[in-house]
Structures are given as C-alpha cells and as structure tokens.
Amino acid sequence: MTEEINIQEMPIEELLELMMDDLYDGYADEIVEEVEECLARGMAPYEVLTQGLVAGMDIVGIDFRDGILFVPEVLMSAKAMKAGMALLRPLLAETGAPKIGTMVIGTVKGDIHDIGKNLVAMMMEGAGFEVVNIGINNSVEDFMTAIAEHQPDIVGMSALLTTTMPYMRVVIEALKAAGIRQDIVVLVGGAPLNEAFAEDIEADAYCRDAAVAVETAKKFMAIRKEQVR
C-alpha cells in the first residue's frame, strides 16, 4: 500500500528534503506543489530557491559527476528545476526600484547550460536592471550583435564547462578590437571559473553566484555614476 504524502502537514525541513528528492527524480509537478507550499508558509522566494532547488541540483551534480546519474535523468531534473524557477521568477523580479542599468547576458558558444545564467538574469531583474537574456551557445557575433542593439552597461557571460570557459576571452578580445571594452563592464560566472581566471581573461569580475552578481553589478554601476559626475 502506498502512503499518501500530505505536504501541508510536513515540517519545513522535511518539505525541503522532499523537494530535493523530487528534483533528483525529475518530478516537475511535485516541485511546483512544493514550491507553492513553501511560499504559502511565508518562506522568502530566494530561500525556496537556494535551500530547495539549488541545494537539490547540487546533489544531482555530484551524482552526475560520479556516474550515478546520466544525461537523460539530469535533463529531467533540469526540467523540474525550471518548473520551480518559473513560479519564483515573477516574485524575484518584482521590483518597484527605478532602472539602474542594462545587462546583456548569455551562455558562451559550445555550452547549453542555462539554469544558473537564468537565475542570474532573474535576480538582476529583481534588482532593477533591464536584462537582455540571449540564451545559450552564443558566438562572439551573437554577443556583439546584442551589444550593438541594446548598448548595455554590463555584459554577463556564463560557462559551465572547462572546455567552453576559454571562449569568454574571445568575446573580451572582440570588445577590445571594436574599441568598446572600456565602455562595458564584463562580469563572468559559472561553476568551473574562479577569480584568477577572470583576472587572466581581463574580465572586470568573477561572480560566484547570482547574489554576488547583483552586488557586483550594483557596485560597478555606482562607480560609473561617480565617473560621469
């Protein structure tokens, strides 16, 4: 006999554990219900995101690395993660703040990971930035076209693979060649990166996570404002 799970009666810690398990198993419908339940209990959207969804995806990442999970299963987890993020997006992006700046953000060529990049985009919107999210697998031409069209203050690049992170340098070199490098703040992020890499490719900063990306972007916008005074 299968026992009916009543999430309304579960303590919050158990509910978050269940969310991690369901993310691992790729159960999108259950994730939606659990996110809704956490929100109904007054949990802040950012906490639901970090303590439930991102924590669950960390476990998926470990088992993927160790050969316990494979691409089809991880795709199901990613689908479940996105279903949860879709609920949180409007809440995280809700802001009465005036626009502070514009950002173009994309995952670099050869790389199709987009969960973290989308999370950064959401949080930046929430902080009052206008965000142009150009998606995955972006060539240098894609970045340059978006930059010409939207004239951003900030360009954000994401890479999750050690094989694709060097492509960030290609984009930065293209900005230099076009004579616009000094006009744009370049922020980079993604699990395999670190500060030394960002410095080496001459990005303005490495952002460990979405919250750091927001803080860093705001800091650079404040510096820019000072400079035009």
Please report, as ranges, the residues that interact with ligand B1M according to CB under 6 A.
54, 57, 60-61, 64-65, 71, 74-75, 78, 105, 110-117, 119-120, 156-158, 160-162, 187-192, 207, 209-210, 213
Distance CA 85, CA 118 (A): 9
Radius of gyration of the chain from its Cα atoms, rounded to whole angstroms: 19
CB of 24 to ligand B1M, least distance (A): 11
- For the CB of residue 53, give the shortest distance to ligand B1M in the complex, in Å: 8
Under 8 Å between Cβ of 206 and 197:
yes
* Residue closer to ligand B1M, measured from CB, 50 or 145: 50
Q: Which is nearer to ligand B1M, 60 or 201 (CB)?
A: 60
Pick the closer one to ligand B1M by CB: 7 or 73.
73
Q: Return the structure tokens found at 188.
A: 């980079």
Of 88, 90, 91, 122, residue with least CA distance to 105 = 122
Tracing tokens 């990049």 back to the chain, one arrives at 117
Nearer to ligand B1M, 43 or 57 (CB): 57
The distance of closest approach from Cβ of residue 63 to ligand B1M in the complex, given in angstroms and rounded to an integer, is 8
CA separation for the pair 194, 201 (Å, rounded): 11
Nearest CB to ligand B1M, comparing residues 83 and 188 = 188
| Cα–Cα distance measured from residue 190 to residue 156, given in angstroms and rounded to the nearest whole number | 11
Shortest distance, position 9 Cβ to ligand B1M, whole Å: 30
What's the rounded Cα separation, in Å, for the pair 143 and 146? Answer: 5
Contacts of 75 (CB under 8 A, 6+ apart): 26
User: How far apart (Å, rounded) are the C-alpha atoms in residues 202 and 29?
Assistant: 43
Closer residue to ligand B1M (CB): 84 or 144: 84
- Supply the minimum distance, in Å, between the C-beta of residue 5 and ligand B1M: 25
Minimum distance of ligand B1M from residue 155's CB (angstroms): 8
